[in-house]
Amino acid sequence: MSQNFYPVLVSLMSNKLAITLCVFMAILFIKFLIISLIKQKYAKNKRSKINVVNNLISVILLIVVFNIWSTEIQKFAFSIAAFIVAIVLATREFIQCFIGFMYIISSRPYRTGDWIQVGDSYGEVHSTDWMKLTLLEVNVDAYEYTGKTLYLPNSRLITSSIKNLNFLKRYAMHHFTITRDGSVNPFVFIDRLYEKAHEYCEDFKDVAVRYNQLIENRLEINIAGPEPHIQVATSELGDTQVLFTIFCPTERAMGIEQALTADFMFMWFEQETLGHASINVPANNNY
């Protein structure tokens, strides 16, 4: 029986397709063991480590398969020399994706877990491989996840600007505008609005100051904040606009916006009811 098995074994060892399948299965099995070990050993930051393992295994598998079939690949390349231009054009997107992957590895403009903007797309970096970038889409206006997953080809990373928005995960420079007609003078109650804004920001004021300074030192620029800012302007149609700028924790931005909007509406209708639209701007304003 062993004599019959030996020729079969030699035939399989000389069969590159069988070797490729065995190597492929072995590498996938090793990958499964490593990922299982990471999931058991690490309670946090598993996603980043698993992403590194996936990319490393993919590169190793590509190199091994290329070495096994190098002779056939070389012969095949010589045989299609007349069609090489057409092949390059057909695989241009894949080549650009691979170049984009190498660019991301070398420049490191973001890391797993960062909030970034690629063109018009916003999201948290979930994973990166040699073909695509996977983002968990974020509604940057509401600072919350949309539940959608974006798959961006790496070729877009070469042609589109990449903005790292990671500091928005904790604190945001939140801007919003309230537009009303010209029946009420908002300068009458703007000091009360400032008091309300400071009241809503009081509990995190010290942390906001430190985080604001951290961002300025890291980016080497001056940014607005952390004090609330309120500005009165007019629209192109002549309506009154009140612009708010609040430096606050990301998860509280929408709540503070709703609270200030409610205060503004109350003060606006209060003044409209009292008929104080013609009151002059107070002389002792300090804004």
Per-residue pLDDT tens over the stretch 122-144: 898 988 888 889 999 988 877 78
Contact in structure between 285 and 187 (CB atoms under 8 Å): yes
For residue 52, give Cα distances in angstroms to 25, 30, 130, 199. Answer: 20, 14, 12, 46
Measured between alpha carbons, how far is 63 from 182 in angstroms, rounded to an integer? 70
- Residue 184 in this model has a pLDDT that exceeds 70: yes
Contacts of 212 (CB under 8 A, 6+ apart): 171, 223, 225, 226, 247
- Residue 2 in this model has a pLDDT that exceeds 60: no
Contact in structure between 101 and 143 (CB atoms under 8 Å): no
The domains of the chain are located at: 2-167, 170-274
Tell how strand 162-164 and strand 115-118 pair up: antiparallel
Measured between alpha carbons, how far is 190 from 97 in angstroms, rounded to an integer? 53
For the chain, the average pLDDT equals 80
Residue 42 pLDDT: 75
Measured between alpha carbons, how far is 13 from 42 in angstroms, rounded to an integer? 39
- Residue 69 in this model has a pLDDT that exceeds 90: no
Measured between alpha carbons, how far is 269 from 21 in angstroms, rounded to an integer? 75
Alpha helices in the chain (DSSP H): 2-14, 16-41, 46-68, 70-79, 84-90, 92-107, 156-159, 190-201, 205-219, 253-274
Question: Whole-prediction pTM value?
Answer: 0.59
Residue 279 pLDDT: 46
For the stretch 226-254, pLDDT in tens is 788 999 998 888 889 999 998 888 888 89
Band the pLDDT of 280: cuts 50, 70, 90: very low
Among 29-33, 45-49, 97-101, 252-256, which stretch is predicted with the lowest mean pLDDT? 45-49
Residue 135 pLDDT: 92
Residue 14 pLDDT: 60
More confident residue, 162 or 88: 162
For the stretch 110-122, pLDDT in tens is 888 888 888 888 8
